[in-house]
Amino acid sequence: MSEAKIIDDYYEALNVPMELVSRRHEHLQPRVALMVAMSRYRTDTRLGNLFGLDRSSVNHHRNNHKNNIETWGGYKDHYDLASSIINQNLKRRI
């Protein structure tokens, strides 16, 4: 799985620039959804390095995933898109 390819494909599909330091909703929600989707295949430390965060922040977002799906409007759509792009990249490698 090419991390750079997944990140590029995801943000291209969203048509928004990747912003690692912004805490504005329109940047934070897509970033968190992608990070959590990628956490099935990468360690917290690796994802923290990719997204400029500490591993504990990745763990925090993953632990809050279920609540985010249920209560954070739009998060599920971002997560589903990220998961789909990851799955497409995995299929290309098989």
DSSP reduced 3-state for 30 = helix
16-53 pLDDT, tens digit each: 887 776 677 678 999 999 999 999 999 999 999 999 99
H-only helix segments in the chain:
3-14, 25-38, 44-51, 55-63, 65-71, 75-93
How many domains does the chain divide into? 1
pLDDT over 80 at 62, yes or no: yes
Q: Domain range for residue 43?
A: 3-93
* Whole-prediction pTM: 0.88
Q: Residue 45: give its domain's CATH number.
A: 1.10.1750
9 close to 91: Cβ distance less than 8 angstroms: no
